[in-house]
Amino acid sequence: MTVDVTPEQHQKLKALAAFRGKSIEQFVLERTLGALAQDADLTELEAMLSHRIA
């Protein structure tokens, strides 16, 4: 996937990612899909626990 960003946006993303010790790709994916991944993990955990508690 390619996302067009201005040179200024690229520099900002690069700086934010570097500040967190991540690549731009890791930073962007974490920021965009992180909440979805956490929701999926929580749903999976709840399903597993419901079988153990029931």
pLDDT at 54 over 80: no
Does any domain span residue 1? no
Q: Is the pLDDT of residue 35 over 70?
A: no
Residue 21 resides in a domain: yes
| Residue 16 domain flag | yes
Query: Does the residue 14 lie in any domain?
Result: yes
Q: Which domain holds residue 35?
A: 7-53
Using alpha carbons only, give the angle 37, 32, 49 rounded to the nearest 5 degrees. 15
Does residue 2 lie in a domain region? no
pLDDT for position 16: 96
What is the number of domains present in the chain?
1
Q: What is the mean pLDDT of residues 10-37?
A: 89
Residue 19 lies in a domain: yes
Per the model's pLDDT, the better-predicted residue between 48 and 2 turns out to be 2
